[in-house]
Chain A
Amino acid sequence: MKRRAFCTAVLGAAATGLAALAPSSLCLAAPGGGPAGVSPSRPDLVAVQGENVAAALDKGLAAFGGMETFVKPGQTVLIKPNMGWAVAPAGGANTSPVLMRQLVEHCFRAGAKKVTCFDNPCDHWRDAYRESGIEAAVRDAGGVVAPPHSESYYHPVSILGGKILAQAKVHELYMEADVILNAPVLKHHGGTGLSCAMKNLMGVVWDRRFYHGRGLDQCIADFTTYGRRPALNIVDAGRVMLSGGPRGQASSQYKKLDLLILGPDIVAVDAASALAYGANPGQFAYIGMGEKMGVGKGTLEGLNVQRLRV
């Protein structure tokens, strides 16, 4: 972080207008929101069914009291989509660009100072950013799309609760944003069975091979124990890939759900997504691990679930 702090200091001295950025760049800001900050009157989980994903998002956020509940005026927001693959939106491998655009707009309407977006993709980042349609959508809405391809963007952090993943290099934007929004796509995954909110956070870490080599499920669960967590998870379960995931193949089967699942509890969101996928949350090891480590609830029992239609 020294390089970054230094650059910030130099630029801040040169232009007083930029000095305002310094506190957020120094990584001192606490993560906004989180499961603990949600009041009991608010729902724990919202599912919105409807073909129009933008309208579904509007309705889903309204159930939580609007984006203002999570994003305060002047804050910086990171939206972490899944744009891991150089595959067109119809392939269901990446988060819907329409959803991403609407999310960015909601953040700005809530008064966000800046909205950023990135993913450390599996395919070459230029192709993945372009083909997913997310780069264009976020830029159009006024967001910043940051590059992920240089190790110099990632800085080592300790994950105290991690059983295997005790240390990881995490992208600086994940460290700096006042608010983190996690916007995964629900799909099949050849390694873990299911890819959703918890798995999506793997894309803020530099070394994916460590996960695969040392225990994919445990590493995914380990990272969710890290102090900086998404304030809200917004799952795109519009056209859900049922096989050939996570990239999607010509032979992949899909299920049309037209569903959006929103919730601050990342484990509960994954449990609900597993049910939507047509499986039992217990089938996917990392969901159970997340619950056991106290990150969130692995079932929907006792949760205030709201079901809405557009």
Chain B
Amino acid sequence: MRFLRRLALLRRLAAASVLALFLFALPGGAGETLMPVLGMTQAGMALAGFLAGGGAPYGLLLAAQALAALLCGRVFCSWLCPLGAAQDIYRRLRNAACSRIRKRPPAALRHIPGSAWRYAPPGLLFACLFWQGPGLFGLAEPFSLFARAVDALVRPAQALAVNALADAGDAAGLFVLPKIVWLPDPAALAAAGLPLLAVLWLAGRGPRAAPGPRGWCNAVCPVGALLGLISGAAYARVRFTHECSGCGRCERVCKARCIDSGKRAVDASRCVACYACLESCPSRGLALLPRPRPAGAADRIRKERAVLLRGAATGAALALAGIAAPLLRRPEPAAPGTGPGPRAGTGDAAARPLPVGGALPALMPVLPPGALSLSHFAGRCTGCHSCLAACPPRVLRMSGPAAWGERRAARMTLPAMDYMRSFCQIGCARCTGVCPSGALSPLTPEEKKRVQIGRAALTEALCVIVTEKTRCGACAEHCPTGAVAMGPDTRGGMDIPVIDADRCIGCGACQYACPVRPRQAVLVAPLAVHAVALPPRAAEGSGDVDGTGAFPF
């Protein structure tokens, strides 16, 4: 039984490790190595990936989560969820502040009865997921919420600290610590800050207000609601034993407020498996038990049948939803035509079945590499912004509602390329390696060099060579593929940019470098369906000219 008392400590250790690992992976810059593994622990990502038609890998992850819940309840919520850990830490700090600063003990918690109404907000979020894609769902999905907050709120704090250190070091002539350039993004701040405020507000509420320190987890969180439904039939769960003295300590420490010490009952669907109750019990009044004691044989059989039925029903419903969701969703307008014709690609890029470029719908931003198409990307991205954290030049930014012609609310948190701030590095595919929901499919740097996410076009009337009659060439200078070149066309005796859009990968280097503001003379038009660009033109002739003979001057 001593082991049971230590469970709470063990889970604190686990939750703290997960939290630390995520902080190390996201702003810490170790995302490329850590995220592929860390992302797999997140039930919400498995759910979003599976419901978007991600298939077997996400199905297996989801099945593992469901099985864990069926075996021992919502262990995800207390052991693996970084948002859960953040809430617990916040509550602890708040209680400490209560007793140290205000000189009064934190209010004791009391049981509240569970209401079926608590399924309404998560239900609404699931409805959004099916009708609008995972954007709105991701506003409340715990991993997305947490990771978004890390990028929008932890990073500026990190920048402040690092830059102060760097300033001191640079003044001593060291220059070993590069500064972090942080530019404010009000939309991303709001999308991260407002849901987080709601979470913390609920977590900090007093004993009278429902629904307790893990209020978010039991009133809003869609992952918590789903796992709760399964955990209602969990096999090994917290139950009262004959040794319970009825002291009520367990009830007062229960973050989910799901223990009724009077009736000696635990609502397993709300229990987040933190095991604080086991720790608090002075006798052995609570234990992790497969069945209540005592239980008649008939009772036991009924219970076990219920476990099986609930598990099977949830599994079947999820599987059905996974199959049906992609069919239910309205297909994106993928008009044929303007894209380049199908071509026999070469090398690795051709191995991936990328469709031919499509026309652009009403209004959309340039989607990151690996997004494949608007329907693929918008159908899977929960807006966790892990890719933003992984992007070295920070060209990836939250798109915001104004970037979209339709479904603005559902798509506002989706990341997109912002060529006003930076441009995409041709040999870099870091964003595609960190996506936990599969919205960005992994690309190798070699493959990515040919993935066409947009097509550059010149508005000649805006070009400084025409308007100012001065040489520029910034666009051609920055182009990594040779798609933008100066000449052979000329205006006023000077070469103007000529764009070979079939070789353009849409990296935005030309648009970013263009000195014309507010609207650049070279713009990258987004592609609703990403394509494969033609390879860069090869050199004519053979080898270098030899000039090593006589001195040239």
Partners in one complex: yes
- Residues of B404-458 at the interface with A, using a CB-CB cut-off of 8 Å, are 422, 425-428
Does A127 lie at the interface of the complex (its beta carbon under 8 Å from any beta carbon of B)? yes
What residues on B are CB-neighbors of A189 within 8 Å?
Answer: 473, 477
Contact: B547 with A256, CB < 8 Å?
Answer: yes
If A189-B477, A190-B476, A191-B474 touch, does A251 touch B173 (CB 8 Å cutoff)?
no
Counting chain B CB atoms within 10 Å of each CB, which of A144, A250, A276 scores highest?
A: A250
Contact: B515 with A209, CB < 8 Å?
Answer: yes
Counting chain B CB atoms within 10 Å of each CB, which of A21, A213, A240 scores highest?
A: A213
Contact: A122 with B172, CB < 8 Å?
Answer: no
Contact: A258 with B548, CB < 8 Å?
Answer: yes
What residues on A are CB-neighbors of B243 within 8 Å?
Answer: none
- Residues of A268-310 at the interface with B, using a CB-CB cut-off of 8 Å, are 272, 275-276, 278, 285, 300, 305, 307
If A49-B548, A250-B482 touch, does A127 touch B428 (CB 8 Å cutoff)?
yes
Counting chain B CB atoms within 10 Å of each CB, which of A190, A257, A276 scores highest?
A: A190
Tell me the complex Cα distance, A257–B547, Å.
5
Contact: B482 with A249, CB < 8 Å?
Answer: yes
Residue of A nearest to B545 (CB): A255
- Residues of A242-272 at the interface with B, using a CB-CB cut-off of 8 Å, are 242, 244-247, 249-259, 272
Contact: A212 with B464, CB < 8 Å?
Answer: yes
Residue tally, chain B, CB below 8 Å to A: 56
Residue of B nearest to A76 (CB): B173
Does A140 lie at the interface of the complex (its beta carbon under 8 Å from any beta carbon of B)? no
Q: Which of A246, A253, A256 contacts B477 (CB 8 A)?
A: A246
Does A29 lie at the interface of the complex (its beta carbon under 8 Å from any beta carbon of B)? no
Contact: A239 with B544, CB < 8 Å?
Answer: yes
If A209-B474, A250-B536, A275-B553 touch, does A122 touch B513 (CB 8 Å cutoff)?
yes
Contact: A254 with B545, CB < 8 Å?
Answer: yes
Q: Which of B174-182, B188-196, B202-210 contacts A (4 or more CB under 8 A)?
A: B174-182
Tell me the complex Cα distance, A277–B536, Å.
25
Q: Which of A124, A212, A272 contacts B474 (CB 8 A)?
A: A212
Does B303 lie at the interface of the complex (its beta carbon under 8 Å from any beta carbon of A)? no
Contact: B544 with A127, CB < 8 Å?
Answer: no
Q: Which of A4-12, A57-65, A100-108 contacts B (4 or more CB under 8 A)?
A: A4-12
What residues on A are CB-neighbors of B175 within 8 Å?
Answer: 116, 144-147
Contact: A114 with B173, CB < 8 Å?
Answer: yes
What residues on B are CB-neighbors of A257 within 8 Å?
Answer: 547-548, 552
Contact: B515 with A212, CB < 8 Å?
Answer: yes
Q: Which of A4, A114, A190, A258 contacts B485 (CB 8 A)?
A: A190
Does B78 lie at the interface of the complex (its beta carbon under 8 Å from any beta carbon of A)? no
Contact: A275 with B179, CB < 8 Å?
Answer: no
Does B470 lie at the interface of the complex (its beta carbon under 8 Å from any beta carbon of A)? yes
Contact: B472 with A213, CB < 8 Å?
Answer: yes
What residues on B are CB-neighbors of A191 within 8 Å?
Answer: 471-474, 476-477, 486
Tell me the complex Cα distance, A114–B170, Å.
14
Tell me the complex Cα distance, A114–B425, Å.
32
Q: Mark B517-553, 1 if CB is under 8 A from A, else 0.
A: 0000000000000000001111111001111100111
Does A217 lie at the interface of the complex (its beta carbon under 8 Å from any beta carbon of B)? yes
Q: Which of B168, B179, B539 contacts A7 (CB 8 A)?
A: B168
Does B167 lie at the interface of the complex (its beta carbon under 8 Å from any beta carbon of A)? yes
Contact: A190 with B477, CB < 8 Å?
Answer: yes
Q: Mark B160-171, 1 if CB is under 8 A from A, else 0.
A: 000100011011
What residues on B are CB-neighbors of A49 within 8 Å?
Answer: 548, 551
Residue of A nearest to B515 (CB): A213
Does A149 lie at the interface of the complex (its beta carbon under 8 Å from any beta carbon of B)? yes
Contact: A250 with B539, CB < 8 Å?
Answer: yes
Tell me the complex Cα distance, A7–B545, Å.
52
What residues on B are CB-neighbors of A285 within 8 Å?
Answer: 471
Tell me the complex Cα distance, A3–B19, Å.
36
In whole Å, how far is B331's beta carbon from the nearest beta carbon of chain A? 37
In whole Å, how far is A205's beta carbon from the nearest beta carbon of chain B? 14
What residues on A are CB-neighbors of B477 within 8 Å?
Answer: 122, 189-191, 245-247
Does A214 lie at the interface of the complex (its beta carbon under 8 Å from any beta carbon of B)? yes
If A124-B425, A191-B477, A256-B545 touch, does A251 touch B552 (CB 8 Å cutoff)?
no
What residues on A are CB-neighbors of B426 within 8 Å?
Answer: 86
Tell me the complex Cα distance, A124–B424, Å.
9
Does B326 lie at the interface of the complex (its beta carbon under 8 Å from any beta carbon of A)? no
Does B516 lie at the interface of the complex (its beta carbon under 8 Å from any beta carbon of A)? yes
Residue of A nearest to B484 (CB): A190
Tell me the complex Cα distance, A49–B553, Å.
12
Contact: A215 with B470, CB < 8 Å?
Answer: yes
Tell me the complex Cα distance, A299–B468, Å.
29
Contact: A127 with B425, CB < 8 Å?
Answer: yes
Q: Which of B422, B509, B513, B551 contacts A212 (CB 8 A)?
A: B513
In whole Å, how far is A118's beta carbon from the nearest beta carbon of chain B? 8
Does B480 lie at the interface of the complex (its beta carbon under 8 Å from any beta carbon of A)? yes
Q: Mark B269-306, 1 if CB is under 8 A from A, else 0.
A: 00000000000000000000000000000000000000
Tell me the complex Cα distance, A126–B426, Å.
13
If A49-B551, A213-B516 touch, does A253 touch B545 (CB 8 Å cutoff)?
yes
Residue of B nearest to A305 (CB): B553
Does A150 lie at the interface of the complex (its beta carbon under 8 Å from any beta carbon of B)? yes
Contact: A123 with B425, CB < 8 Å?
Answer: yes
Residue of A nearest to B538 (CB): A250
Does B264 lie at the interface of the complex (its beta carbon under 8 Å from any beta carbon of A)? no
What residues on A are CB-neighbors of B87 within 8 Å?
Answer: none
Contact: A216 with B472, CB < 8 Å?
Answer: yes
Tell me the complex Cα distance, A122–B512, Å.
10
Q: Which of B181, B471, B480, B547 contacts A247 (CB 8 A)?
A: B480
Given contacts A146-B170, A244-B482, A275-B552, 17 further A-B contacts (CB under 8 A): A11-B172, A49-B548, A122-B513, A124-B428, A127-B425, A146-B175, A149-B179, A150-B178, A190-B473, A190-B476, A190-B485, A213-B472, A215-B468, A251-B536, A253-B541, A259-B552, A276-B553
Query: Which 3 pairs show the lowest CB-CB distances between chains A and B?
Result: A191-B473, A213-B515, A7-B171
A residues contacting B by CB (< 8 A) are 3-4, 7-8, 10-11, 18, 21, 25, 47, 49, 86, 114, 116, 122-124, 126-127, 131, 144-147, 149-153, 189-192, 208-210, 212-217, 239-240, 242, 244-247, 249-259, 272, 275-276, 278, 285, 300, 305, 307
11 A-B Cβ contacts within 8 A? A122-B509, A124-B392, A150-B181, A190-B486, A191-B472, A208-B513, A213-B464, A214-B470, A239-B544, A253-B544, A278-B547
